[in-house]
Structures are given as C-alpha cells and as structure tokens.
Amino acid sequence: MEKTTDKPVMLIVDDVEINRVLLVQFFQREYVIIEAENGKEALEIMEHQPVNIVLLDLVMPEMDGYEALSILKRKERYASIPVIVMTAHNDGDSEARAMEMGAADFVTKPYNPIIVRCRVHNVMARLENEWRKLEQAAKDRQLVEMHRYIETDALTGLFNRETFYKRAASAMQKNQDKAYDIVYLDISCFKAINDLFHIETGNLILKTAAYYFMASVDEEDGVCGRVEADHFVICLPQEKLDIDTLIQGLDNTVQSLGISHNILFYAGIYPVNNVFLPVDQMCDRARMALNKIKGNYMTRYAYYDASMRDLMLQEQMIVRDMEFGLQEKQFTVYLQPIYNLHTGHIVSAEALVRWQHPTNGVITPGKFIPVFERNGFIVRLDRYVWERVCQILQEEKQKHGKVTPVSVNVSRLNFYNLDLLSFLTGLLEKYDLEPWMLKLEITESAYTDNPQQLIAVIGAFREHGFPVLMDDFGSGYSSLNMLKNLPVDTLKIDMGFVQELESSERASSIMKFILKLAEDLDMGVVVEGVETKAQLDLLAKIGCADIQGFYFSRPLPYENYMKLLDEDRKAQEAAGQ
Ligand code: C2E
Ligand code: CA
Ligand code: CA
C-alpha cells in the first residue's frame, strides 16, 4: 500500500465537480487531496485538518473565494498557507484583486494541465525555500551564539585572549595597506580596589571599561579583548588611535561610576612593523612598554622601542645564568664605608652586591635585583650575601679583635620566609658574631606590601639585637605615617634629598625636620649619596652625622675595604682616639 502520510495535503475548493475531478487527476500522485464545495466547507475542514496548499475557486455559492481568502489571510494560523485562486478565462480584474488579497498565484479555466502543475509546483518550491531560509537563519543564529560563547570572556563580552590573537592577526593581514598599533592597557592598583570594595565593584569597572573599548573601536578594522584580570588589549589602525583621548575618555567613563578611589589606566603601545609576527609577541612588546612606566604617576602611556627588546634579552640572560652564577661564586660583595662627619672615621659599611659575569663583565645590582625580586631568586642571593658578610666580619674580628658593623640589604621577599630570623641567628652562631655587627636594611616599600607582618618581623629582629635601618627613607609616600607604627634604629635618608639640597630650600628644611624627628624618637640617621664637598658642608651645617657617598668612597672590593679600614684604624690610633 502506498504510504500517504509523507505527502503534502492539498485542499481543492470548487463547487463544480468536474473541475475538482480534473485537478485531482493532476495532483493525486504527489498530494493527499481533500475536496470542498465552497469557502465555508473549506474553512470547516481546515479547522481540524492541516493543509499545505489550497486551490480556491473564486466564484462559488455559500461563501465565495474572496471571502474565504480574506478570512484565511487574516487568521494567523492560516496566513502562511499558500492559496492559488482559480479564475474564469479573461478575467484580469479578479486575478489582480485576489493577488492583492494575498493569493500566492492564480490559474485560469479551462485548465491547461502543464500550467496548473507548474504554478502549484512553483508556489510550493518558493514556500520550501522560505522555510529553508528560516531554518538556516535559526541555525546561523545558534552558531553565532555558540561562537560568542567560545570566543568571548563571560564577564565583559570582549574577545578572550586566543580569539583576540586570531582576530587581530586577520584584521592586520586583511588591511595591509594600514599601519597598526597594539595597545596593552592595565588598571593601577586593581587588586587594591578588589580588596577595598566588593568584588562586584571591580567587575563593574571591568565591564565599564570593556563597554568603552567596544564603543571606541571600529569593528570594521579593529579588535579589542581582555587577556587577563584587568588587562585589556586593542588592535587598531594607527590613524584611528588618539591615545590621549582614549585614556582621557576611559578615565572619565570610569570616574562617572563614582567610586571613591583613584582608578587610572596605563597603556603600552607597540607600533606593528611586521604583521607576520605572532600577535602574542606583539602584545608582549606592548606590555613591556607598559611595564616601563608602571608606578610612574605622571606618565600614562609609553611606546615600545628597540631598547626594550634589548632589556628583555638582557633579562633573559640574567635568568638563564643566575643559578650557575651563584654556584660559581660570580656574585661578589662590595663594601661602601660610612663615615662620621665629626670624627672623620669609618663607623660602618653597607654591603652591595656585584655580579662578575664571565662574558658580560661586571653587572650592577640595578640590572639584576629587580629581575630577582620578580622571580624570587633574591631570597637566595640575599642569604648568600649575608653569609659572605659574616665571613668578612669574622675575619676582621680575628685579625683585629674589633669589628666594624656592616649593614646588609634585606629584600622584602624575605619577609615571606618563616625561617628568616633563625637563618640570621644561625649565621651569627656559625661565625661567632654578635647581632649588633650585622645591621639589616629594609626599604619603605616593604611596609606597603604587608604592614602587619613587617611590624612583627622587625620587632623580632630588634628583640634579638639586630639593628634595623629604614632604607631610602623619604622616597615613598607613607614615610612619616609608617614611623609611628614601625620603630627602627636608624633612618637612611634617600639620595634624592641630598641631590636636591643645593637647589631647594624645601629639601633642606625637610632634612632638618627629619633630623629633629629622629632625635625625638631616639633614632640614628645616615645620609646617602653625598658626592661633593658642597653637599657635605651643607649637611654639616644642618647637623647630620653619618654619611655614605662617593665623596668619601665608592663601594669597594673586599680587599680594598679591608685596607681602608686598616688605614683608618691606624690614623685613629695615631690621633690617640
Ligand atoms: P641602596 O640600598 O640604596 O644602595 C645605595 C646605592 O647607592 C648603591 O648602588 C651605591 O653604590 C649607590 N651610591 C652610594 N653613594 C652614592 C653617591 O654618592 N652617588 C650616587 N649616585 N650613588 C651612590 P648600587 O650598589 O648600584 O645598588 C643599587 C641598589 O641595589 C641598592 O640601593 C639596593 O637596593 C640594591 N642592592 C644592592 N645590593 C643588594 C643586595 O645584596 N641585596 C638586595 N636585596 N639589594 C641589593
Ligand atoms: Ca641599602
Ligand atoms: Ca638606599
């Protein structure tokens, strides 16, 4: 038996039986056919029988074709069913009227089987086509949704890292006539915002920034994304980047949120000169430019240049060679004596490390300490330096029966190690020394990291008899505030003050104030960075006592320092002091 259920249903509505018989003959192979004698009957059938196409005679008793057509087209559930109307020969008017009312097509009597079949076929094909289009559109929408889900970051709706890389590469390759910039943006102290406020506040800032980026970057030839936490990237043609306006607009937008904290964006820009460089490397370069201005409150953006690449290569070399360098004792300790202004003799020294690199010569700490502070190696290097200093102290003690104390730098990363104190006391025991011989220099900035912990550790140092010096005092922002909570033995005044002394009244009155404060709080003062006689005289007038600086001596290799100590001691003895 022929299966009928898959066939579409055709409703033939005509009051003349012979017409219906003819049409049934034409279509019965492809359609399930239902017949009705007038409009009313047709509508009744359609109430409970789905129909795919209607062939509708216009002139009928009871309810004619026009009326039936107008009802069908007005009802939503029927409106999309195609209706082909059947008209008498030579009746242009009724055809036009029916078409206006929404008929899909018309056929004229007497029927030409070929034409009738063609028209029905065309109407059905057109319908099918529309369905297919709708279906495709739905699928496309789904696909877009899915892509969005995979490609974007759920919080901000911006492209995620991988997608940004892909899209930026293709934008740049598509528009090779345009020069591009990669901009890497970061929010200052975002972590603090998350700590101070609710996490939602942080999220709101990120979303607002993302919204701003989307609005200011043209999708035609630009791309923006969020690569991590509070780091955003933008790729856009140079002609469209006005970085001052971008940052200003961003500040204004974020400030309009009314969060009572200074939220500032910083940017690094890499002008792309090779579009085939992987985008992640372009971003690294933009980020490198950004890192250069981090913590610099006046400069909000910087461009990448080749010197940064050299810096990166140098950093890679440092990281590559550090382990071996430590093993091979390439790190040496220099000592810079500290003089007392009144007596003119050495009272102590600071230990400063140098790297005697086998191929690159002597590397100064300014180059490698920041790298080691980033990767944690500083903790091991510091301990190495402290031990070396203890050996030197022991040697002096054994030779002269006297010791000139030496201060060592204690990088802030050390404070995270619980065995710090026991390591130091262990050294004293091993080299038979007393704690006053080894002074500990810590920098102000350690305080902002984690005040509570620092206060506790420094308290413990002092209880054990280690003198504690506050290094670079006055270079930070919280200096005075901090002193209240964090008693130390000595302030080491930052070099910046000395350099400004001659030109600025203010610097010298601050210096006087610090001296007074130190006296009141029973603390010593060392002034660093004294280079000239003029500076020395000024300091003497103000009343400073202990001085460290090139004027007296640069940091010296151990043997030279020992020699200098010897001479100083002899001079002291000769003077009967
Ligand atoms: P710092 O602790 O403030 O050390 C003083 C720096 O000032 C030294 O630079 C010293 O050579 C320099 N200096 C001394 N007198 C003068 C002067 O009259 N004029 C000028 N212009 N500079 C002077 P250096 O040795 O290059 O060390 C730089 C920084 O590296 C140190 O600054 C310290 O923060 C760090 N550092 C050095 N050795 C170590 C170490 O063993 N451990 C740690 N954690 N940091 C160290
Ligand atoms: Ca120091
Ligand atoms: Ca210093």
CATH assignment at residue 391: 3.20.20.450
Summarised one tens digit per residue, pLDDT across range 365-404 is: 999 999 999 889 999 999 999 999 999 999 999 998 899 9
Measured from the CA of 551, which atom of ligand 1 is nearest? 18
Residue 577: pLDDT above 70?
no
**Band (195; pLDDT cuts 50, 70, 90):** confident
Report yes or no on 152 lying in a domain. Answer: no
CA of 421 to the centre of ligand 3 (A): 22
The domain of 182 spans: 161-305
Summarised one tens digit per residue, pLDDT across range 89-146 is: 666 788 888 888 999 999 888 888 888 899 999 999 988 888 899 889 988 888 888 8
Q: Which residue has the higher pLDDT, 466 or 192?
A: 466
Of residues 214, 218, 227, the one with CA closest to residue 282: 227
CA of 443 to the centre of ligand 3 (A): 8
The pLDDT value recorded for residue 91 is: 67
pLDDT (mean) for 14-42: 93
Assess whether 106 and 213 both reside in one domain: no
Beta strands in 190-330 (DSSP E): 223-228, 231-237, 265-271, 301-303
Assess whether 324 and 294 both reside in one domain: no
- Which one-letter DSSP state was computed for residue 358? T
CA of 503 to the centre of ligand 2 (A): 25
Assess whether 262 and 244 both reside in one domain: yes
Assess whether 65 and 188 both reside in one domain: no
Assess whether 325 and 288 both reside in one domain: no
Cβ 230 under 6 angstroms from ligand 1: no
Distance of CA 98 to the CA centre of its chain: 64
Nearest residue (CA) to ligand 1, atom 7: 529
CA of 471 to the centre of ligand 2 (A): 5
Assess whether 72 and 96 both reside in one domain: yes
Measured from the CA of 333, which atom of ligand 1 is nearest? 41
Nearest residue (CA) to ligand 1, atom 4: 352
Assess whether 120 and 184 both reside in one domain: no
The pLDDT value recorded for residue 477 is: 57
Q: What is the signed CA dihedral for 127, 131, 133, 139, rounded to 10 degrees?
A: -170
Among 284, 305, 326, identify where a domain stops: 305
Among 93, 117, 135, identify where a domain stops: 135
Handedness of CA 51, 57, 63, 68 (dihedral sign): positive
Report yes or no on 363 lying in a domain. Answer: yes
Give the three-class secondary structure for 267: strand
Assess whether 319 and 301 both reside in one domain: no
Report yes or no on 186 lying in a domain. Answer: yes
Block residue for tokens 């003198």: 467
Summarised one tens digit per residue, pLDDT across range 345-367 is: 999 999 999 999 999 999 999 99
Cβ 444 under 6 angstroms from ligand 1: no
Pairing of strands 346-357, 331-340: antiparallel
Looking up residue 181, the CATH number of its domain turns out to be 3.30.70.270
* 39 vs 53: CA distance, rounded Å: 14
Nearest residue (CA) to ligand 1, atom 17: 529
Assess whether 130 and 172 both reside in one domain: no
Assess whether 229 and 323 both reside in one domain: no
Residue 1: pLDDT above 70?
no
Assess whether 255 and 377 both reside in one domain: no
Nearest residue (CA) to ligand 1, atom 33: 409
Report yes or no on 291 lying in a domain. Answer: yes
Report yes or no on 144 lying in a domain. Answer: no
Report yes or no on 179 lying in a domain. Answer: yes
* Shortest-distance ligand to the CA of residue 352: 1
Looking up residue 87, the CATH number of its domain turns out to be 3.40.50.2300
Report yes or no on 3 lying in a domain. Answer: no
The pLDDT value recorded for residue 334 is: 98
Number of domains in the chain: 3
* Shortest-distance ligand to the CA of residue 351: 1
Assess whether 285 and 320 both reside in one domain: no
Q: What is the pTM of this model?
A: 0.64
Report yes or no on 143 lying in a domain. Answer: no
Cβ 474 under 6 angstroms from ligand 1: no
Among 287, 305, 323, identify where a domain stops: 305
Q: Burial of 178 by CB count in 10 Å (0-12 exposed, 13-18 middle, 19+ buried)?
A: middle
